[in-house]
A and B are shown apart, each in its own frame.
Chain A
Amino acid sequence: MADSVLTIRGLRKFFTVTRGFPRSRTVTVRALDGISFTVRDGEAFGLVGESGCGKSTAGRAVLRLVEPDEGEIVFKGENVITASKARMRELRRKLQIIFQDPYASLNPRRRIGKALIEPMRVHGIADEAECEARARALLAEVGLPDNAMMRYPHEFSGGQRQRIGIARSLTLEPELLVADEPVSALDVSIQSQILLLLQRLQERRKLAFIFISHDLGVVRYFCQSMAVMYLGRIVETGPIPAIFKEPLHPYTKMLRDASPVPDPLVKVAMLRIEGEVPSAVNPPTGCHFHTRCPHVMPICRTVYPEWRQMDDERGVACHLHTN
């Protein structure tokens, strides 16, 4: 088995939010409620779940873009959380991120060339001429013309901007890329272009990915293993083929079966209509999923199921699978 490049243990992040008018109240959002997972060398690890499940917070916490309250992030044997400022700067070179909306993460008044060269200069990687040569090579690698160097972000389409975002994330030759919904805002035909590009990069550069997505089809295609999150916790992890063949957690199964399939002969689950779906502000007692679970048992309402590791790779938190 390949070595792990990243291990997360017991990561926790609560946000306190004040809201309401005229009588405001402070609530705690349990965005990450103690999650653990391992990304192996050169692997694409999918983090899936619906909005508000904490998957984006998890991705940002790995880079310490949000500071976790508790837990461990071990990147190649080194704890990222306790790293000094200077050391963190070096680690950031190895850990990069791609966002869903590259337009929001590019400075509209800065030419693409400059946006690509700046990180290299900040980290003192090479001299000016060398940086420029590298930037051009990166543009070619992500499939953009050479003249993109002198152009501004608004001159590009959504798909091209995502290519720019990818090129920029590669400037410092990272070993792990966090990709936060990188294809969700794109049209189908462009989405597959970007997926194929990411796949080429993964193979050529031996990159590891944390691939955050709500689209199970995309995750099934791109990733080798995945974790399913629900209201701040991981409910199931395992290799992609095994999970899709036989999901252990009822939530994983529900997600899989509700995902639309482009074939009218395949029956997509028509789900029972529910009321308000619970949120991470006030997760239900016991197993958070019990309010929506078709297999709910009395114990589910009171006790959160313990994590059970089924084998080397698969694990689940569900009373159906506890001894």
Chain B
Amino acid sequence: MTADAPIIAIENLVTEFRTGGGWHPAVRDVSFAVQRNETLAIVGESGCGKSVTALSIMGLVPPANGRVASGHIRFAGRDLVGLDEEEMRKLRGDRISMIFQEPMTSLNPVLTVGFQIAEALHYHRDMGRREADASALELFDQVKIPSARQRFADYPHQFSGGMRQRVMIAMALACRPELLLADEPTTALDVTIQAQVLSLLAELKAAYGMAMIFITHNLGVVASIADRVAVMYAGEIVETAPVNELFARPTHPYTELLLRSIPRVDRDTVGLSAIAGQVPSIGAMPSGCRFAPRCPLREEICTRRDPLLVKLSDPGDHQVRCWLRAPSSEAGHG
């Protein structure tokens, strides 16, 4: 580990789900690390494994039909894989927090928002009611909910979507977590409200020095919030780079095509690309490169052997999983 030890380091994570009688990986061999005061955006389409990665970190993979099959999730030096529920619960909402896409489904409709924000402080910090309420009120101000004192005793349904998301953020930040997982936190919001929530998150991240893992399908949002990006496809990271580098030199064919299939608001789009076909289902993954069946550059080797995530030669921290764009010297597995 370097001098700048990451707050979280994922190593070769494999998370599987049981479908049709067998276990199939939804996340395969995923590794990344996030430093303090850094935002890593995980971007990909539905079913690429980005949310499952977050749930694995939180220890929230449903045990009935899911499991972390192998790999390590090192948080502040400690492996979270295999940690028992009691220990996990001490971390959740305290040192690691998460916000979700739809705040209404993660807020309790019959409890006041004030109570829900104070709850974490009461539980983790052993604060009394008055003290917890006072801290919660301060959080209300930090997430810029106007007339905080009056709104404190309101119920979730009395808030609009954007305000509910700010309540969620206040809840998540109550104990000043070192790591915040944000799973599509602005997807359900209108663009003007999205812009507000994004700037609020960026501001709070800097103020707290948190590490943030921001999960989204929207490359526009990635461009405005991320320091580093990991692009996922069919359960694997196919490309990862610092944000400017990724957008300047998208190297994996999937990343490149994805960027060319977004109609842009800031200029005329000439020649919109589409990616033929669709994402493979979890039980029917192609052999070799998982993007090969949809890839216009496909060659014989692509369908035969799994490509590895390979560091590109010149720039610092740009890795790509592609036989053609980033050939590896060593033999791939599979």
| Chain A residues within CB distance 8 Å of chain B | 50-51, 157, 159, 187-193, 195-196, 214-218, 220-222, 241, 244, 254-256, 258-266, 268-277, 279, 292
Contact = CB atoms under 8 A, between A and B. Distances in A.
8 contacts: A187-B46, A214-B191, A217-B263, A260-B218, A261-B264, A276-B163, A277-B160, A279-B160
Contacts of B146: 275-276
Contact of A260 (B160, B200, B223, B274): B223
Interface stretch (B4-12, B20-28, B206-214, B254-262): B254-262
A187 B277 CA distance: 12
Interface stretch (B85-93, B108-116, B265-273): B265-273
B244 A264 contact: yes
Interface string B187-231: 000111111101110100000000000000111111110100000
Given A196-B272, A264-B243, A264-B244, A189 B190 contact: no
Given A192-B274, A263-B247, A265-B244, A273 B269 contact: no
B134 interface: no
B279 interface: yes
A32 B259 CA distance: 37
B274 A196 contact: yes
Best-buried of A191, A192, A217 by chain B (most CB within 10 Å): A192
B224 A264 contact: yes
Given A50-B191, A264-B243, A266-B223, A271 B199 contact: yes
Given A196-B274, A221-B272, A270 B195 contact: yes
A55 to B, nearest CB: 12
A260 B224 contact: yes
Nearest to B158: A276
B278 interface: yes
A275 B190 contact: no
B268 A192 contact: no
A266 B248 CA distance: 12
Given A216-B265, A262-B262, 8 more contacts: A157-B278, A218-B263, A221-B263, A260-B194, A263-B223, A264-B247, A271-B196, A277-B192
B45 interface: yes
B265 A189 contact: no
Given A262-B264, A266-B266, A255 B45 contact: no
Interface string B165-203: 000000000000000000000000011111110111010
A276 B247 contact: no
Nearest to A218: B263
Contacts of B45: 187-189
A258 B272 contact: no
A270 B202 CA distance: 10
A270 B199 contact: yes
A314 to B, nearest CB: 19
Contacts of A268: 195, 220, 223-224
A282 to B, nearest CB: 13
B78 interface: no
Given A50-B192, A255-B192, A261-B266, A277 B162 contact: yes
B129 interface: no
